[in-house]
Each structure stands twice: as C-alpha cells, then as structure tokens.
Structure 1
C-alpha cells in the first residue's frame, strides 16, 4: 500500500512525523505540499488551519480522489473539530488528536470503531467518534520523513520547526495548543532531539527553529523551568547547525530568565518572539494571557539588555475590545521599541474559549463585523480591519528599524487586512453552522 501525506503550502513537522511513522511501519510513503495524489494511493491530509476546511481546491481534491476509489484520511490540528472536517471535506475518516499510534492501526486495519482516535460517518450518515487518541510517548517514535527539498523551505526564516515538547502551561483563550496537547508538559530527551537535528542537517536543512509554543518550557516539571536542560539543548543544536542557524523564538514573557536569555544570545540567531497581544490589561485578562502589559514591557527591556532582538505579535478586534483598549496597545508599541511587529485580527479557532465568545457575541457588537466610521471610513472596512491596518502603520514608525509607509506598503496592508477580515467572517459562518445554537 502506498500513502501520500499532503501538507498544504509547507512541510509541517506533524506531516513529516506521520510520514516517518508510516515509513517505519514498512509502507511506501511520500510527502508533498501540492494538492495532488495518484488514484491508487491513500491520501493522508495533514491540515493545520481552519481555512483549509474552506478551501475549494482541497474539497475538490478529496471529492475527486474518493470518486476514483481512493481513500482519504484527515489529521492535524483541525482534527480537534472533526464535525467540521467531516461536514466540509467528507473524507473517509478523521484521525482525532495525536496521530502516531492511530495511523498505524488505520493503515493496517482501515476505518474501525475498535480503537480510539477516529471520527467517521456510519452507513446512516451519523458521526461515529471512537474517542480522542491517548497521549503518545514523545520519546518513542521514529525520525520524521524529511523531504529532499527541505533546505528550500522558509518558515519565518527556518527550514523547519522541530518539536521539543508537547503541551503548554498557558490558557490563552484564542489558542488551540493546551486544548489539543494538554497543559502538562511532555518533553523529549536532549539526545533524541539532537539525533533528529543531525538528520535534518544531513537532508539539507539550513536553519532549524524550536517549536512547542514556548521554547523555554522544555523539560518543565513541578512548576519550574529547567534552565539547565534548555541551555544544554540550545548548545547541542548550535554545535550541530551553527549558532546562526538555530532559533528558539516563541517564548512567553513570564518564562524567561537571565540564564535563558544568555543561552539564546550565545547559541541562536538572537531573536525572541513574544505573544504580546494587547497593551490593555483588561483585554489581556479576557484573553487569559496570565501576564500583564507591564510584564511584557519588562520582558522586551530584558531582551534588549542582553543584546537580543525582540519581536511581538498583537491581536486586535477581540470581542469586547474598546477604542480605549486599542489606544493602550498603540501606546505600548510607542513606549516599548520592538524590533519587529506582527498584527492579526482575533480568529475564532473552533473549540477555544474565543470561539465560544464569538458565538455568543451579536455581529453588531463584534469588531470583525462592525463597519468602521472614523478615519478610514472611505476604505469601507470593519472596525477590526481598521485597527489592524492602523496598527501596522503605527508599528512601522516605532520599530528599531523605522520603516516609512509608502503607497505600495499602504496598499499591501489594506489588501491583507481585508483578506484577514473576510477569512475570519467565513470561519465564523462555518463555526455557527456546526457549533452555533
């Protein structure tokens, strides 16, 4: 039996991992980012975005392949809301949750209600859910299936993001990670990770980044960050790839220390990416961030004191965000000089608290739907889109490498926020279809 694992747009780590599992089970397996599969092959779709469920191209791929007698299995983060996957894509089944063990059984026995981790339609078009797959042992798995062109991939500067641990101690309302992997941290061994790093380098990877939500939670136990193990990992990766080819960007503002910052300075490209989200403590509390704007400001300052670059992401248009809250975010960017800034509109990922809040919020109170009536009224965009657009231009003026907003940049930003708004409204509509009252 031959399997094709398709991961749209990029080779995700999850797709490579599933490919490695199937390879070591003795199956003929290939990995692709293109939406294509040969008729006699079994298609495994690894999907990481709600937008994938709304893609006409992906829907056509599934429909055409099944019409020719091919099997289609879907997994990845979208499996957390399998009702939407089944309803929108109509595959043979969905692998729900962590899929390493599930795909072994699925590949060997086919769709069955005899083991957990599957969701599918029965003969009467009712959904059968066999239960979420049990958590796997992250130290008992094969090497990922690394494609030969991995060196040409660029995800925020990295050829790939490798997994060092699963789970997150945070409870951010917009994030799926703690709902998907849990809030207990399950870490891999340093030796296992370094073995994988060597394989990625051998296959041509140019730069590797640490994944897992918050890099410094590696080997986190009993409420304590294990600085020693984190430093050992960063040093080991740098010895293999070179310090300019390693990054550990994503870290919570309350999960840093002088030792961690020094390790990042010594063994990586020297960047940290903080999910800052808002300058308003009221909004941060609604988001469940577990940190304040003052803590965020102190974290940015600490990075600069250690000679590091600090980037930050911000979310606007969160239901309940007022104009005053938004102005606090602008003030935060003004007062805390960041080296790079990323802006997004609040997206309701299904089965997160934010999604539940969006379902409860009337459109006339949701900034994603409310027409903007102030400075950018002539652009005919919504309040959330206007805040995103405005904050992008504002951030450019206060970054360490100030960038003037030219006409071309203005047009690009406007196009991007309009697309973001449209995507989120489409996602909200399908969310209501499956989970609305």
Structure 2
C-alpha cells in the first residue's frame, strides 16, 4: 500500500513523525511539502493552520484523491474542531489530537466507531469517537524529506520535539489543549539519535520546540535543570552550538543555570512570549506571568550575555487604547534585540476562539475600522496597532533601525495579510459555532 503524507509548504515535525510510524509498519510511505495530485492509495494531510481549510490547492488534491477511489485522512492542529475540517474539506476521516496510535489503525481498518480519536461522516451525521490515546514518547525515527536542508523556519531547518505538554494555560495557545498541561518527555538518547539522522539528511540548524524548552524532563511543574542542560550539551555535541537554538521559554521558567546553558550550547538567543505590557490584558490572555516578571527575565538574560527577542499580540478582544500604549511603553523600556508582532488569532479549541465567538463584531478590533493616524491606509484597528508596533519596535532596538519605504511596505503587507487571514478564520469559526 502506497501512502503519501503532505504537510503544506513546510514539512512539520509532526508530519515526519506520522510518516516514520507508517514506514516502520511496512507501508511504502513518502512525504512532501508540495500540494499535488497523487496516485497513492492513501493521502494524509498534516494541516497546522486554519487557513489550510480554505486553501483551494488542498481542496483540489482531496477531491482528486477521492474521485480516483483513494482514501484521504486529515490530522494536525486543525483537528481541534473536526466539524470545520469535515465541512470544509470532506476527507474520509479526521484524526483528532495525537495521531501516532490512531493513524495506524485508521490506515489498516478505515473509519470505524471502534477506533478512538477520529471523526467522520456517516449518512449525513458526524461521528466522533472520543479522544485519541496519548502517544508514547518512544517512537521510530521520523520520515525525513530529502530536501529538508532547504527548509527555513525562523532560521532553522526543523523544529524537533523533546517533550509534549506545557504547564501554562495561555488562552490563545493550542499546546495545552492539544497535548495537555502535564509534561511528557523523550529520552535524551532517542533525541540524539534523531538529531544525528537529521544532520545526515542535510539539516544545518535545529531548533527545539515543545512549548517551553526548559520544561524538558520536568515533573509536577518543577523544572529538571540538569536534564535540560544535558539535552543542550548533547545536541550541541552533534550539531555544534551555533547550529542549535532553544528559543521559546516562559519568563517564569528560567534559572541562572538554564541561561548559562543557552549561552554556552546554543546560538545565544532567548525568545519570550511577552504578548502585552498591560496587566489587565495578560490576565485576559491567561498568560500566568506579570510585566514585572518580564522585566526581570529580560534583565537576567542580558546579565548572562544573551540576546532577547519577544513576541507581542495586539487586537485582543477587550484591549483598550491605554492597554496598547502600555505595550508600546514596555517595548521602549526593554529595547529588545528583536520583536515579533501578531494580531490575536482565534485558533479553534482555544479560550480566545470562544471569546471571539461570544462578542459582537463591533467589539472585535479585527472588524473595527481604524480612525487614527493610519486611516488613509484602510486598516482595521487591530491591523493598525500591529503596524504601529512594528514601526515603534524598530525605533527602540539596541541597534537603531531606520524604517525606509521598503520596510514600511513590508510591514504594511504583513499586517494586511494577518488581518485578512484572521477574518477568514473567524468566518469559518462562525459557520461551525
């Protein structure tokens, strides 16, 4: 039996894991980031964005697969709301949640009420068989595409998974809803075997994912700092310190030893999800961290010789002009080495999505027209705040960055795309609410 796994535009780690499971079971399995018609017996689409549900290329590939008598299954983060996936794409089934165990049975048996963790249509009714079982953290090597070395995700060829779960409960994040808040870690030996396989396949730089990197091997919410240090030492020993990043850390999940290890065994950057300078908005976001904790974390990183980047979310429902100004003030105060700005996106299955569905459109900054200094650009209030914050951040980086016409237009294009994508995502949520 021939199986084709497609992860659109970026081959995600999760897609490679599913491919590796199926390959180990003896199936003729291939993997690609190119959305294309295929002659495989089974097409598996690993989808990580709500935008994929609206992608005409994906719809065409599924339609072709079914017309020729092949089967098509969809999994990935979009499975948080299987009704949306079934309604927009019409695959034979959706794998809901973690898929390593479920996909094996689904490929062998086809959709059945006896297989936990799937959703499918039968006689016009959606059948959901409950949650998929948690996957074991010991598994076969991922199925690595031959062009993996050409892939670029924030500077890395691939983000590998060292653990699943996150102790946080941020209202905009899918990780604790998808994997849970209990941390499940892989063995260092298995991780290093995998790292060597990626290096042999042409990977130049690896990044660690898993929500918060320093939670590796933690138990009951308490960090296992020696294990995290051993992990970084081991990967750096294979790849070299300049080819490893462990960027995503919560501001309340650092110690002096953790920061020294990041300095010594990685490229030397820390990426904090700061999100807002307003305590009120941080509480709405369920961030679980305060602005003072952010200040202290950035200060400590610099004491250890690290570069610090931060992400910020604007246009969160309930964000006032005063809340937004607090975020601008914090960016000016922190003078971060790099800043990433996003409009609040209601990802299915998150409290933010529930909040967006519960409020009228006139209270959602994504729908509210901007009437301030950027009015001539035709932006929403959320888009205008994102655009303004990008420009503002450039003025307050340690190395002054002059915004020229090219940068201005790039930022404008980015916020317009974000706004358009989020409007589309919101409309899909509304259709299936």
TM-score, with structure 2 as normaliser: 0.99
Structure 2 CA distance for aligned equivalents of residues 134 and 185 of structure 1: 15
CA-CA distance at 1:223 after TM superposition: 2.7
Structure 1 CA distance for aligned equivalents of residues 432 and 192 of structure 2: 43
CA-CA distance at 1:9 after TM superposition: 0.8
Q: Which residue of 1 aligns with 2:159?
A: 161
Structure 1 CA distance for aligned equivalents of residues 360 and 7 of structure 2: 35
Q: Which residue of 2 aligns with 1:79?
A: 79
CA-CA distance at 1:40 after TM superposition: 4.1
Alpha carbons 1:4, 1:37 under 8 Å: kept:
no
Q: Which residue of 2 aligns with 1:219?
A: 217
SS state at 1:235 partner: helix
Does residue 56 of the first structure (1) align with residue 56 of the second (2)?
yes
Does residue 103 of the first structure (1) align with residue 67 of the second (2)?
no
CA-CA distance at 1:151 after TM superposition: 1.2
Structure 2 CA distance for aligned equivalents of residues 318 and 196 of structure 1: 39
Q: Which residue of 2 aligns with 1:340?
A: 338
Does residue 125 of the first structure (1) align with residue 120 of the second (2)?
no
Q: Which residue of 1 aligns with 2:235?
A: 237
Correspondent of 1:404 among 397, 402, 405: 402
Alpha carbons 1:270, 1:309 under 8 Å: kept:
yes
Does residue 290 of the first structure (1) align with residue 288 of the second (2)?
yes
CA RMSD of aligned residues (A): 0.9
SS state at 1:210 partner: strand
Aligned structure 1 segments of 4 or more residues deviating by more than 4 angstroms: none
SS state at 2:289 partner: coil
What stretches of structure 2 of length at least 5 have no aligned partner? none
Structure 2 CA distance for aligned equivalents of residues 350 and 109 of structure 1: 28
Alpha carbons 2:247, 2:271 under 8 Å: kept:
yes
Structure 1 CA distance for aligned equivalents of residues 390 and 418 of structure 2: 13
Q: Mapping of 1:107-186 within 5 angstroms?
A: 107-122=107-122, 124-139=123-138, 141-186=139-184
CA-CA distance at 1:113 after TM superposition: 1.4
Q: Which residue of 2 aligns with 1:382?
A: 380
Q: Which residue of 1 aligns with 2:3?
A: 3
Structure 2 CA distance for aligned equivalents of residues 39 and 240 of structure 1: 38
What stretches of structure 1 of length at least 5 have no aligned partner? none
Q: Which residue of 1 aligns with 2:358?
A: 360
SS state at 2:402 partner: coil
Q: Which residue of 2 aligns with 1:330?
A: 328
- Tell me the matched-pair count: 433
Alpha carbons 1:75, 1:94 under 8 Å: kept:
yes
CA-CA distance at 1:401 after TM superposition: 2.5
Alpha carbons 2:11, 2:32 under 8 Å: kept:
yes
TM-score, with structure 1 as normaliser: 0.98
Correspondent of 2:195 among 192, 197, 204: 197
Alpha carbons 2:182, 2:220 under 8 Å: kept:
no
Alpha carbons 2:3, 2:40 under 8 Å: kept:
no
CA-CA distance at 1:154 after TM superposition: 1.0
Q: Which residue of 2 aligns with 1:369?
A: 367
Residues 279, 216 of structure 1: alpha-carbon distance in 2 compared, 3 angstrom cutoff:
same
SS state at 1:137 partner: coil
Residues 126, 392 of structure 1: alpha-carbon distance in 2 compared, 3 angstrom cutoff:
same
